[in-house]
Structures are given as structure tokens and as C-alpha cells.
Amino acid sequence: MSQAYAARRARLRDQCAAAGGEAALVSRSANVRYLCGGGVPPGAVLLLGPVQDVLVAPLTPLWEPLPGGSYHPEDLRILVLPGEGGDPAGAAADLAAADGAESLAVEEHHLTVARHRALAAAAPRLRLVDLGRAVEQLRLVKDDEEISCLRIAAELADQALGELLESILVGRTERHLALELERRLVDHGADGPAFPTVVATGPNSGRAGHTPTDRRVEEGDFLTIGLGADYRGYRCEVGRTFVIGPSPATWQVELYDAVFAAQRAGREALVPGAACRDVDRATRQVLDSAGFGEGLGPRMGHGVGLEIDEDPRLAPSAMGKLDACVPVTVEPGVHLPGRGGVRIDDTLVVRPEADGGPELLTITTKELLAL
Amino acid sequence: MSQAYAARRARLRDQCAAAGGEAALVSRSANVRYLCGGGVPPGAVLLLGPVQDVLVAPLTPLWEPLPGGSYHPEDLRILVLPGEGGDPAGAAADLAAADGAESLAVEEHHLTVARHRALAAAAPRLRLVDLGRAVEQLRLVKDDEEISCLRIAAELADQALGELLESILVGRTERHLALELERRLVDHGADGPAFPTVVATGPNSGRAGHTPTDRRVEEGDFLTIGLGADYRGYRCEVGRTFVIGPSPATWQVELYDAVFAAQRAGREALVPGAACRDVDRATRQVLDSAGFGEGLGPRMGHGVGLEIDEDPRLAPSAMGKLDACVPVTVEPGVHLPGRGGVRIDDTLVVRPEADGGPELLTITTKELLAL
């Protein structure tokens, strides 16, 4: 696996060289992890230098350097700053300049103005240029190893959700159900939840990102659950809505059917080459026609990977097209104020039709279950 | 309480005016929360404008604006951006310029280079200056309301820890104990853990920020626990080390005594007017003299509040002095590679001697308990 990281760094270096860059400094933590692997200390930055690649790490109370302070696994040197308070980015710029670089590409969408200024002061002869979202671009299309991590993460989330549905729900609070889901995720081998678990009952149901409250599950409620697992840094998402009690009301069935149809339309629009905005539109249109177009969220899905919310965005203003091997969520939701709502959310990997079309990672049923 | 927020904004505005600033843009989320209260949508920024204060919020899938899109609780106007993808900072700069400001102070230690550039482009006639850490400075000294939130947070953490100690520990994994602590925190009314709970057994014990593993508690282990509660946004910290089994080994007692003495020295150094670095030194010196000086962490404590790790730092290079009503941690720890170690961590509020000296918020015993 460590060869994969070296290959990713080589790809980034080639891109930089093609753009005339001599050295690059990666500071955004998910990007550093992508290029160096897990276990990187918090706050570390990666220098792709003219002579050597160096991971520069701050000395923090949350990480203990290996004895000796630095080591060299393969071609990646690791340098731990000796004292507290130094910015590893400054030390990395220093190194780049010492190795003969005249310019350094930095992540201007991540570095703060103050850090950027300190960097310029630390190596005054370096010309700082913008690396842009080059690493995020590399991260878009996932390799087999990454997709299998996502597959496992999805399996863990499905498992935790499935077990919860077998237990008694009426009378339990949103907060307790959320905690139980997170415990089950970890029990089954997740490194943690991918994001704060959503449990939304009754009038809260269908709300995106709802923070669990002390409201208890009642007969007749819609119950919306959204959760995801983090497995080796890779994060997936699954969301379902259930109805509590023997049989759903008519409005509940109608609303559920509309969201289900919209979500299916979104999933079916996931083909390599499709414009991201068209996936959003395909999903949104179904809800519009069903009379639920008002108050829809600003987008119908997003990429997942080392972050739970990464490129691409599936939104009306999104640019770009989908490629094969890009994992995304499709997650329309409708919330009717005072009554509740429905949200259905899957993680899928875009695949060519010849390979069977989009690969559904989260396989929990999307039938409207009455629990 | 909403008056308190208005008063904080007025104080910041006075400071800006004294420094010649006409308008300020606060973008760091803990700072926005400090000035506006809880419930602020993620990504919102606060404009202290020449005419009005406006909270500008992005439209995100994680937050649903109130019907109508904006409302005016007292003197704070709330503006929700209509579409996805816009930067509220740009909209705020626009507003400031429209209200006649010629300069705008921004948080250069928080804004990225890319956002800063977009801001400059959004309001080209505004001169952007640096607000610096003005809000962080205001946040240093806590008011009664803030301290009582911290007191409750500490009580919740003590409670969760106390209950865990009454249960059977041998044979359980670090991960399970950590999850149980977090569940207990929430059960008792915490909004969540203040930071990822640390449970470190045997050779892992004493390590700062240790991520819980599947290692099980064994007879003879040191067991280090570090946890904290988030109560209404305020975060505290407590850390203790126990020994598992009927009686600790000699090396365990010696190491415990040394860390205990160091931690006491740090607590006793907490007086208004003390230099932050002197608190660090008082703590560190005890461990140095006891022969445990090597491999100590870079600092012996830090401030807590809306963030679990905020100013001041209690470190050798720290500038500044302690004031009354500043809550800090004192948390020396020693880790002996291969054997384990001890960490003892309290949250205290600096108080004048006439008021009884430092107020200990985390009251779990610091005797070496054999469990």
C-alpha cells in the first residue's frame, strides 16, 4: 500500500512540473493523508521538494514522535519540529529553499492569510504560487483499495442500522438511539462514526443534519436515521426513513413515494460522463412535479471519501462531470414544517453501464418499513 | 443572556474604533458563537458594520433557515444567503461597503488566502486590515455565566468517571470503556464529549491523546482516562490514572507520586498575575528533579472554554500572565515507553488568594486508587 502513496505523490509532482512548479506544500490534512497514508500526526504538512519529499510534523501533546525524532520509511523523510509553537509549513518552506527551489506552490484555499505571510517571511527568496485544488482533483476518482474501504464502511453502517431496527424503538429518545448506533458501528469494527449520527423523530423527521434531542419515538412518527462509518479514514453515508406503528398514514405514504422516486431518479442518473448538475436536476424534478419542490436542500448529493463531504457536488450550480469510480451520495429529503418528513440517502460508486451501472454500497432496504 | 452577547459585541466594536477600524468581520466559528450565542448555523460570519450588526449565514444542507429567510432578534440582523456556494464573508463585505465603510478588519489567522482574495474582489473599494486575535483576547476572561457552564461540564465529567470506576474494568477494551464514558456523559445531560475520550491501559497509559484500541484492561495495569463534557458549548477536561489490582508496584507508586506532586505544584502556581510560563516551569521542575524530565510534553496546560484548547498556553515559550476568572487545565503526564505512565489533569479557574485561590472544577479524587 505504501507504493500507492508514493505513486500518488509522483502523480502530483508530475502535474506540478507540467505547470512549471518546482516544489509543492500540501497542508490540508485530508490531502496530506491521501498522499502519505494514515497515522500522520495532526498538523503535519507534506513538502514535495526539488530533492526530497518530507513530512514535517509539529510537536504536539497529542502525538509522540518515534524515538530519535525522525525516520525514513522508503522515500518519505519525516521531520518533527523540536519545540512547540513552530509552524511546520515555515520549516517546510525553509527546506524547499535550502534544496534550491525558487518557487513553492501552496494550498491557498487552506492556508490562512497569517500562515501564508509567516511562510513568506520564513523563506523570503521563495516565490509562493497557488497549488489550487490539485490534490482534491486527484482524490475524485478512487482506486480499488479506497473503494473497498468504502464498501466495508457501508457494510458496517448497514449492519448497525439493521440491528437497531430489530430492537424496540417506541419510547426511546433520539439521543439514545444515536448513541446506540454509534456504539454498534464501533463494535463491528468502525474506527468511529463518519459524522454525527442523525436520529430525527416525528416533526423533526426528514431534516438534514438534525441534532438528536430528548424527544422520544412515538406511534405514528416518521423516524429518519442518517449514519455513516469511518473505516481506515474512508467515510460513507446511509439514510432511511421508517414509520412507527402498524400502518402509515396516507400523507406519509405519498410523501415517501415521492422521495423514493426522486432518489431512484438520482441513482439512475449516475453514469460516467453525466453532468453533476443533471443528477441534481433529475432528482429535484421528481419532487418538484410531486408538489414538494419548495424548501428543498441546495443539493441532492456529494462525493465521499477521506472526508464525508467532498467533491463533486451534485447541485444546480455544479460544474464538471462524473467519472467511473467516483463515489457519491444521492440524498433527497423533504421536511414539512410541523409534520416531519422523509430523507433517503445512499452511497454509490459511479460505474459504466457495461459493468452493471452504479454500484450501491448501502444496501439497507428502501421499502417503507412500518416498525 | 442575549444582552451579554450585545455587550460583547459593543466591547469589540469599541476596541476596533479605538484602533481606527470602522467595521469588523468575525469568521472563526467559536468567535462568532461567543459574540452571537449558540444555535448559529455552521459557516456563519458576523459583520460589525458601521450601521448595523449582521449575522450572514450560508444556505447549507445542515441548517434550515427560519421561514422568511431572515429575522431580527434585537439588534442583530440575520441574513441567509439565497443559494449554495456563496461565501457569507463576501456578502458581509458587500454590506459593509454599502453601509459606507472604507476599511474592514478581518481575522487573518482564520481566513484562507483564497477567501481573503475573494473578499477583496467582492468589495474592491474596502481596505482589508487585520483584526488579529481580538476576539480570542476577549474570550480569555470568563464571565459568571460561562464559568457556571464550565462548572456543570466538569460535574458531568466527574459523574461519568465516578460511575465507570464502580463497574468491573478487567477484561474490557479501551474502546468500550471510552464509548461507555461518552454515553454516560450524554445520559447525564452533556451535549456531547468535549473531545475524543482517552482510555489508555498498560503500556499505553500516560500517553496524551491516546486513541483507544482493542487492548483489554489487565491486572497490574495503569489505566489512564481523559474525558470532558461539552455543556452549552463550554468544554472542560479531567484526567486520572488508576492502578488495576490489589496493590500497585513500587515503580508505579513512585511515578504516580512524582506526577501528583508536579500537578499540585502547577495548581498552586495558578494565581492572578502569574506568568503562564512560570506555571509550566513550576510543574515541569518537579518532574525534572524526580528524573522524569525527558520526553515531557511541550506544555503543562492550556485554557478551556468554547474550545477545549484555547488561550492561554502554559508552556515554556508562552507570553502573558494569568488573570482572575481564566479557566485552565493543569495536566502533567509521564509515559515510560513499554511500561506505561501517569497523567493527572484538572480544570481550574484562576481566583485571587483572598477568594480562596484557584477554584477546582474537576473534583474526582487524585489519590492513587487501586481498582
User: Residue B103 and residue B112: Cα distance in Å, rounded?
Assistant: 19
Give the integer Cα–Cα distance in Å for A188 and A155: 10
**Model confidence at B74: pLDDT above 70:** no
Taking CB atoms and an 8 Å limit, are A85 and B182 in contact across chains? no
On whether both B110 and B94 belong to a single domain, the answer is yes
Residue A252 has pLDDT above 70, yes or no: yes
Q: CATH code at B218?
A: 3.90.230.10
- Work out the pLDDT band at A271, boundaries 50, 70, 90: very high
Give the model's confidence band at A71: pLDDT under 50 very low, under 70 low, under 90 confident, else very high: very low
Q: Are residues B116 and B176 in the same domain?
A: no
Strand A24-26 with A103-106, pairing: parallel
Can you give the residue range of the structural domain that contains A176? 141-360
CB burial of residue A44 (10 Å; 0-12, 13-18, 19+): buried
Of A175, A208, A316, the CB nearest to B61: A208
The last residue of one of the domains, among A139, A163, A189, is A139
| Shared-domain flag, residues A126 and A224 | no
Q: Is B294 on the interface with A (CB under 8 A)?
A: no
Which of A123, A139, A155 terminates a domain? The answer is A139
A31 and A175 within one domain = no
**B111, A113: Cβ pair inside 8 Å?**
yes
- Check pLDDT > 50 for residue B72: no
Average confidence score pLDDT of chain A:
91
Q: Which of B139, B167, B184 represents a domain boundary (last residue)? A: B139
* Confidence label for A3 from pLDDT (cuts 50, 70 and 90): confident
The reply to whether A221 falls in a domain is: yes
Nearest to B297, CA basis, from B283, B310, B309: B283
Answer yes or no: do B212 and B270 share one domain.
yes
Q: Using pLDDT thresholds of 50, 70 and 90, give the confidence band for residue B70.
A: very low
pLDDT of A327 higher than 60: yes
Quick check: helix, strand or coil at residue A30?
Answer: helix
With contacts defined as CB-CB under 8 Å, which chain B residues touch A315?
84-85
pLDDT in tens, B162-195: 999 999 999 999 999 998 999 899 889 998 999 9
Mean pLDDT to the nearest integer, B111-124: 93
| Average per-residue pLDDT for chain B | 91
Is the domain of B222 the same as that of B308? yes
The answer to whether residues B344 and B331 touch, using CB atoms and an 8 Å cutoff, is yes
In contact, B241 and B223? CB cutoff 8 Å: yes
Sign of the alpha-carbon torsion through B227, B232, B233, B235: negative
Question: Could you give the CA distance from residue B272 to residue B266 in angstroms, rounded to a whole number?
Answer: 13
Interface test with A, best of B60, B62, B311 (most A CBs within 10 A): B62
Mean pLDDT of A152-159: 98
Whether residue A208 is found in the same domain as residue A66: no
What is the domain count for chain B? 2
Q: Checking DSSP bridges between strand B53-57 and strand B76-80, what pairing results, if any?
A: parallel
Question: Do the domain assignments include residue A352?
Answer: yes
Task: Let me know whether A103 and A166 are in one domain.
Answer: no
What is the CATH classification number for the domain harbouring B95? 3.40.350.10
- State whether B317 and A85 contact (CB < 8 Å): yes
pLDDT at B78: 82
pLDDT digits (tens, 9 = 90+) for B339-353: 999 999 999 999 999
Q: A157 and A33, same structural domain?
A: no
Contacts of residue B213, defined as CB under 8 A and 6 or more positions apart, other chains included, come to: B173, B174, B175, B204
A246 vs chain B: nearest CA distance in angstroms? 30
Determine what percent of chain B is predicted with pLDDT higher than 90: 73
* Mean pLDDT value across residues B351-370: 95
Query: The complex's ipTM?
Result: 0.79
* B179 touches A at CB < 8 Å: yes
Residue A9's pLDDT is: 93
Say if B241 falls within a structural domain.
yes
Confidence of residue A50 (pLDDT cuts 50, 70, 90): confident
Examine residue B334 and state whether it is found in any structural domain, yes or no: yes
pLDDT at B73: 53
Closest Cα partner for B276 from B298, B310, B299?
A: B299
**DSSP H helices in B130-237:** 134-140, 144-165, 174-187
Asked if the model's pLDDT at residue A68 lies above 80, the reply is: no
* Residue A38 domain-assigned (yes or no): yes
Say which amino acid occupies A127.
R
Same domain for A346 and A244? yes
Among A64, A113, A183, the residue with its CB nearest the CB of B116 is A113
B204 DSSP 8-state letter: G
Q: Say whether B64 and A207 touch across the interface (CB within 8 A).
A: yes
Query: Do A281 and A218 belong together in one domain?
Result: yes
- Whole-number pLDDT of residue B360: 97
* Domain co-membership, A132 together with A146: no
A368 occurs within a structural domain: no
Q: Does residue B230 fall inside a structural domain?
A: yes
- Among A39-53, A311-325, B210-224, where is mean pLDDT lowest? A39-53
CB of A25 within 8 Å of a chain B CB? The answer is: no
Question: How many whole angstroms separate alpha carbon A149 and alpha carbon A37?
Answer: 13
Whether residue B269 lies inside any domain: the answer is yes
A172 touches chain B (CB under 8 A): no
